[in-house]
Chains A and B, each alone.
Chain A
Amino acid sequence: MKYVDEFRNAEIARALSAEIAAITDPGTHYKLMEVCGGHTHTIYRHGIKDLLPDQIELVHGPGCPVCVLPMGRVDDGIAVAERPEVIFTCFGDMMRVPGSKGNLLEIKAEGADIRMVYSPLDALRIARENPDREVVFYAIGFETTAPSTALTLQRAKKEGLENFSVFCNHVTIVPPVRALLDSPDLRLDAFIGPGHVSTVIGCRPYEFMPEDYGKPCVVAGFEPLDLLQSILMLMRQLDEGRCEVENQYSRIVPWEGNLAALKSMAEVFELRPYFEWRGMGFIAQSALKLSDAYADFDAELRYSVPGLRVADPKACQCGEVLKGVLKPWECKVFGTACTPEHPLGTLMVSSEGACAAYYNFGRKSFEKVEIGTRQ
């Protein structure tokens, strides 16, 4: 398929793989974190770990927007969705994320009017078509999806649509990465920076990583060759003793970001003083809420929600696994209180989370799998 196959070429992959191996020090163990859940998906889907030397370990980061949502926020969403006048709209992958008493799929089965949309603009259309109902869009995602929510709200305001509101859970990427970097027991060597987020915010926001913490960062695209090339770029930095932000995804990501998108976001959102992350606790200025100018569209103000903080179980050690201090099976609740059916922590929610993958496939989730000769 055009524009896809070029980025999945096995021959180029072998060449990159050999280059990476050539500059890997056999006596060193490298831990590279891919911050973004989209990268984790690519790594699994194409088996990228098999193309890396054993010394390079990829650590899956906190960048899956549905996985990091704490139970209390899911519960609040469910409380809104259960109101009879509400049509509750959200992205498909939000449907299975567990709150303290269930997920949206189950609430839908109980009779709530919950509709999956591909874009917040679809939610706006549903609001226009159902003037006698209240349509709520449950917004999630990093700076990747925040501009589309901003644009939707700008339109809603322009049209004077009164039966539309947004339950805002947008989060920002830099604070959780900084929180990880701040922990004294961190064992990571370098970062694969999120590509789609960077189309919006650009590369400059990552400069603190090399400058303040001495960790290289390469902003990467989402095709498998993008990732291999980014890993090579990071390994070159480590090999040459350089430490900077580089942009592998320059075909999409402008260094300065997307100014029009940033302007829309600045008009519609403001930073929350703090926000809770599943498995990571409260992180200051790590999320967005609607600005005063858009308060009329704020579902959190329009509806009374429980707003309860549902504590992550004390034993949940997602933070330690994320930092690379613990392996999934070393967590106290792994496989007992925390399973893919009833996940407690972020790494068990998505099937690509490190814990869920280990639960399903054991060591085969990270070791090379020998499947013998090919036909």
Chain B
Amino acid sequence: MTEREQRVLETLEQNRRRPTRFTSPRIDMSHGAGGKATHKLIEGLLFPAFENPALAPLADAATIPFGEARIALTTDSFVVRPLVFPGGSIGELAVNGTVNDLAVSGATPIGLCAALIIEEGLETEELSREIEAIARSAERAGVSIATGDTKVVERGKGDGLYITTTGVGVADQELNLSSAAVRPGDKILCSGTLGDHGAAILIARGDLELEAEVLSDTRPLTPLAWALKDSAGPALRFMRDPTRGGVGSVLNELARGSGFGVALWEEKLPIRDVVHGACEILGIDPLYVANEGKLLAVVAPEQADTALGALRNTEGGEEASIIGEVREEPARMVVMHTKFGGTRMIDMLVGDPLPRIC
């Protein structure tokens, strides 16, 4: 390596370590896609304003000490179009999404709050169908809708229905789940097939004139999270549900947060043929497609097989697999060993997953 290249690489590294600044003059759709732009928005604009110890880990749920216990707190808004899609609907998503943020933080959900923003003109039949979906999903996940709010906005100011849910849970005191807890050699577990939700939504929108039977994977992850806690105990280091931005973005967060590298094996990634096919046609990478019922976990190597067995014995985890592991190198990066026999660097999602033309 020449001296000049060394200097350039050092400058790049310094730039990376500098605090993020948010410089976009306006919000565009990429800021909502869960990739690099979303991170810039959060780290450059929101975090500096709110900075506090509960927020600092930027986890799926925050934990706040309360007497002897620790309370887990999270919130999520749902703006999906269409409201109903194969395998689920916005009501179901709104409950599961928030329950899952608590579950992957190792917390037991105890109550949910649901705020509905309804567009003028929405048919009552549609609304009551979603209310029923919320009630049904809450029952399935074992939480109550303890409080809520309704607002109506003028026609044209919302896509029929937006839902925000906030969840409260009790954090598990014995678990220390964070990217800082992972160690080289730890295994990365994935609870099932990737990209089902995102692919189902893309196809359901009908813009693509693609016909395929793909169901959203929306489901509560509490049973899977419990199975991992019970089987792995303190060997469980980290959990996330790879929603927007997909597995590729979450694993990049893990690599950056831990300072270690993440290695994946492409042949171990569980992806349905039909999702794979749709992604091939659309030029989208399943690694960046959203999931709503999958979790990623990092488990110490000696407990990894036990944890995998526990996942596979739990409903929704039948297709779980060990997809990779944490390594010393390449530090702060994600690399995938391809089926073809090569390696590929996996970046965080940049912008929206837009289709390629060539």
**Is chain B a partner of chain A in the same complex?**
yes
How does the 8 Å CB contact mask read for A335-375 relative to B, with 1 for contact and 0 for none? 11000100000000001000001011111110011111011
User: Is there an interface contact between B263 and A371, defined as CB atoms closer than 8 Å?
Assistant: yes
CB-defined contacts of B208 to chain A, threshold 8 Å: 118
CB-defined contacts of B337 to chain A, threshold 8 Å: 47, 371, 374
**Which of B11, B263, B341 makes the CB contact (< 8 A) with A51?**
B341
How does the 8 Å CB contact mask read for A88-103 relative to B, with 1 for contact and 0 for none? 0001110110000000
CB distance from A47 to the nearest CB of B (A): 2
Task: Choose, from A36-44, A234-242, A288-296, A309-317, the stretch at the interface.
Answer: A36-44
Check: B126 CB closer than 8 A to any chain A CB. no
User: Is there an interface contact between A375 and B322, defined as CB atoms closer than 8 Å?
Assistant: yes
**Which of B1, B325, B345, B352 makes the CB contact (< 8 A) with A361?**
B345
CB-defined contacts of A334 to chain B, threshold 8 Å: 8
Given contacts A110-B26, A330-B4, A362-B12, contact A13 B354 (CB under 8 A): no
User: Is there an interface contact between A36 and B330, defined as CB atoms closer than 8 Å?
Assistant: no
**Which of A66, A144, A362, A371 makes the CB contact (< 8 A) with B335?**
A371
**Which of B9, B263, B339, B343 makes the CB contact (< 8 A) with A50?**
B343
Check: A4 CB closer than 8 A to any chain B CB. yes
Given contacts A36-B358, A38-B358, A93-B354, contact A50 B341 (CB under 8 A): yes
User: Is there an interface contact between B358 and A196, defined as CB atoms closer than 8 Å?
Assistant: yes
CB distance from A195 to the nearest CB of B (A): 10
State the CA gap A224–B356 with chains docked (Å).
Answer: 18
CB-defined contacts of B335 to chain A, threshold 8 Å: 364, 369, 371
User: Is there an interface contact between A118 and B330, defined as CB atoms closer than 8 Å?
Assistant: no
Check: A106 CB closer than 8 A to any chain B CB. yes
User: Is there an interface contact between A371 and B11, defined as CB atoms closer than 8 Å?
Assistant: no
What's the tally of chain A residues with a CB closer than 8 Å to chain B?
Answer: 64
CB distance from A372 to the nearest CB of B (A): 6
User: Is there an interface contact between B273 and A92, defined as CB atoms closer than 8 Å?
Assistant: no
User: Is there an interface contact between B5 and A329, defined as CB atoms closer than 8 Å?
Assistant: yes
User: Is there an interface contact between B343 and A329, defined as CB atoms closer than 8 Å?
Assistant: no
How does the 8 Å CB contact mask read for B296-337 relative to A, with 1 for contact and 0 for none? 000000000000000000000000001001010110010111
**Which of A1, A37, A360, A374 makes the CB contact (< 8 A) with B345?**
A360
Task: Name which residue of chain B comes closest to A225, CB basis.
Answer: B340
Check: A181 CB closer than 8 A to any chain B CB. no
**Which of A17, A44, A116, A372 makes the CB contact (< 8 A) with B354?**
A116
User: Is there an interface contact between A1 and B280, defined as CB atoms closer than 8 Å?
Assistant: yes
Check: B342 CB closer than 8 A to any chain A CB. yes
Task: Choose, from B27-35, B76-84, B97-105, B217-225, the stretch at the interface.
Answer: B27-35
CB-defined contacts of A260 to chain B, threshold 8 Å: none
- Report, as a range, how many residues of chain B touch the other chain: 35 or more
User: Is there an interface contact between B338 and A46, defined as CB atoms closer than 8 Å?
Assistant: yes
Given contacts A45-B338, A362-B12, A372-B263, contact A327 B347 (CB under 8 A): no
User: Is there an interface contact between A329 and B357, defined as CB atoms closer than 8 Å?
Assistant: no
User: Is there an interface contact between B8 and A46, defined as CB atoms closer than 8 Å?
Assistant: no
CB-defined contacts of B356 to chain A, threshold 8 Å: 41, 92-93
Check: A261 CB closer than 8 A to any chain B CB. no
Check: A14 CB closer than 8 A to any chain B CB. yes
**Which of A109, A145, A363 makes the CB contact (< 8 A) with B29?**
A109
B-contacting residues, A40-87, CB 8 Å: 41, 44-51, 64-66
Check: A108 CB closer than 8 A to any chain B CB. yes
Check: A141 CB closer than 8 A to any chain B CB. yes
Given contacts A329-B9, A374-B265, contact A47 B280 (CB under 8 A): no
Check: B15 CB closer than 8 A to any chain A CB. yes
Task: Name which residue of chain A comes closest to B264, CB basis.
Answer: A371
User: Is there an interface contact between B340 and A8, defined as CB atoms closer than 8 Å?
Assistant: yes
CB distance from B330 to the nearest CB of A (A): 6
User: Is there an interface contact between B333 and A364, defined as CB atoms closer than 8 Å?
Assistant: yes
Given contacts A45-B344, A144-B358, A360-B345, contact A335 B11 (CB under 8 A): yes
Given contacts A65-B358, A360-B347, A375-B265, contact A108 B29 (CB under 8 A): yes
The 7 tightest CB contacts between A and B, nearest first, are A47-B342, A92-B354, A50-B342, A109-B28, A46-B340, A329-B8, A371-B263
Q: List 29 A-B contacts (CB under 8 A).
A: A10-B339, A41-B356, A45-B338, A45-B344, A46-B338, A47-B336, A47-B337, A47-B340, A65-B358, A66-B357, A95-B352, A95-B354, A106-B28, A108-B28, A109-B26, A116-B354, A116-B355, A142-B358, A330-B4, A362-B12, A364-B330, A365-B345, A371-B261, A371-B263, A371-B335, A372-B263, A374-B265, A374-B337, A375-B322
Chain A positions within 8 Å of B, measured between CB atoms, are 1, 4, 8, 10, 13-14, 17, 36-38, 41, 44-51, 64-66, 91-93, 95-96, 105-106, 108-110, 116, 118, 140-142, 144-145, 196, 224, 327, 329-330, 334-336, 340, 351, 357, 359-365, 368-372, 374-375
Q: Can you name 9 extra interface pairs (CB under 8 A) apart from A360-B345, A371-B261?
A: A44-B345, A51-B340, A64-B358, A106-B26, A118-B208, A360-B347, A365-B345, A371-B343, A375-B268
